[in-house]
Chain A
């Protein structure tokens, strides 16, 4: 049995989450609206790629989130393996499908961008391949959660897979520096500063924050759902165990 303090934390989290969610959602919608407006109407077309380069306002933030969500999951995995914290389990489980979604958006928009600019939907260079591997790792983690019935055993297995897969994150980031790739080197997070003109950079950063807030809102909601799902399961099991069948199942408020 986990101790009382760690059991209490998910309840505290649920209360805080309920209060924070409307604000986070508003922040995400507001920032995304600002970013999208700027991407279409403020940012000038690129000197060589023209209007096609505008797909970067989705592609690049999605790529940032693909790695950021994974880093979040690594922290949660440490919480699971070292501190055995149930909230870390839920945080890890809730993040995996979101990370897979961002990675998919990154791959899809990259492919659509690659066809007109490079002349290929897909190439097996180090950047594209390592991001595909990241997507497959995300899917593997999602499936592992589904495959193991017992929640805390599933959490531990998924945490180990997450941390082993963390090896891929520096490969994704530095693939364009370590090897010859068709994909361009980094334009924003690079030594010597961004190589994107200011009028294009701030809409990109705005979209980056929009994606970040979107993830935070979705993640907080998903963690809360996970906590509720676990509580419902516990109550269902208890109700099924009870010899008195007349007792109604009550979802008491989180205390």
Chain B
């Protein structure tokens, strides 16, 4: 083996070692690398009262109610399960029915998730309003319900 070949092999070995080290670490920690859990996954794992967590999904259509004292109630769904959420505060501009959200907080006693922060999650589609309107008109898209899978953040199954 030439000197250059030996050096190349050493570099390749170094990168492979570093890569597998980081890979193994991330695999072991993948649960904590996830920013949020979908309702069905969260329910399967259990949501003990008072344990802080982030819940992500779509705002269920028809579930949003504004109370007089400024409390916002809605349900976060991933299509399989839905969790009722209660939030006192101002949600981000993108918050609406059918929109992706991530809520931070903990389960309260009455089976309602008490959110301290509501974050909006949008998908990867960018288009002018006229295109969006045309798609809606053709019935190829209505907000939330028929949005492509990518818009449903927690729908993909995780190991």
Q: Which residues of B contact A48 (CB under 8 A)?
A: 94, 122, 132
Complex Cα–Cα for A163 and B132 (A): 44
Size range of the chain B interface in the assembly:
35 or more
Q: How far is the CB of B136 from chain A (nearest CB, A)?
A: 10
Complex Cα–Cα for A118 and B126 (A): 16
Q: Residue A144 at the B interface, CB < 8 A? A: no
Closest to B154 in A: A180
Of B33-41, B63-71, B105-113, the stretch lying at the interface with chain A is B33-41
- Cβ of B122 and Cβ of A184 under 8 Å apart? yes
- Chain B interface helix/strand/loop/mixed: mixed
Q: Assuming the A-B contacts A49-B122, A81-B11, are A179 and B34 also in contact, with contact meaning beta carbons closer than 8 angstroms in the complex?
A: yes
How many chain A residues touch B (Cβ–Cβ < 8 Å)? 43
- Cβ of A181 and Cβ of B35 under 8 Å apart? yes
Q: Assuming the A-B contacts A45-B129, A160-B14, A195-B124, are A125 and B118 also in contact, with contact meaning beta carbons closer than 8 angstroms in the complex?
A: no
Which B residues, 88 to 111, have Cβ-Cβ distances below 8 Å to chain A?
A: 91-94, 102
Q: Residue B146 at the A interface, CB < 8 A? A: no
Q: Which residues of A contact B154 (CB under 8 A)?
A: 180
- Chain A interface helix/strand/loop/mixed: loop
- Cβ of A47 and Cβ of B124 under 8 Å apart? no
Q: Assuming the A-B contacts A163-B11, A164-B14, A179-B30, are A49 and B94 also in contact, with contact meaning beta carbons closer than 8 angstroms in the complex?
A: yes
Q: Residue A166 at the B interface, CB < 8 A? A: yes
Complex Cα–Cα for A46 and B131 (A): 10
Hey, what's the 0/1 contact readout for B4-29 against A, CB within 8 Å counting as 1? 10011011001100110011001000
- Cβ of A179 and Cβ of B127 under 8 Å apart? no
Q: Assuming the A-B contacts A126-B35, A160-B14, are A196 and B119 also in contact, with contact meaning beta carbons closer than 8 angstroms in the complex?
A: no
Q: How far is the CB of B54 from chain A (nearest CB, A)?
A: 9
Hey, what's the 0/1 contact readout for A39-55 against B, CB within 8 Å counting as 1? 00000111111000100
Q: Assuming the A-B contacts A47-B128, A180-B153, A197-B126, are A123 and B35 also in contact, with contact meaning beta carbons closer than 8 angstroms in the complex?
A: yes
Complex Cα–Cα for A116 and B117 (A): 14
Q: How far is the CB of B132 from chain A (nearest CB, A)?
A: 4
Complex Cα–Cα for A164 and B18 (A): 6
Complex Cα–Cα for A197 and B126 (A): 6
User: Which listed residue, A119, A166, A179, A196, touches B35 by the CB 8 Å rule?
Assistant: A179
- Cβ of A47 and Cβ of B35 under 8 Å apart? no
Q: How far is the CB of B149 from chain A (nearest CB, A)?
A: 11
Q: Which residues of A contact B22 (CB under 8 A)?
A: 167-168, 171
B residues at A contact (CB < 8 Å): 4, 7-8, 10-11, 14-15, 18-19, 22-23, 26, 30, 33-38, 56, 91-94, 102, 117-133, 150, 153-154, 158
A residues at B contact (CB < 8 Å): 44-49, 53, 56, 78, 81-83, 116-120, 123-126, 160, 163-164, 166-168, 171, 178-182, 184-187, 190, 195-197, 199-200
Of all A-B residue pairs in the complex, the 9 with the closest CB atoms, nearest first, are A119-B92, A44-B128, A47-B132, A125-B35, A197-B127, A187-B124, A47-B129, A196-B126, A164-B18
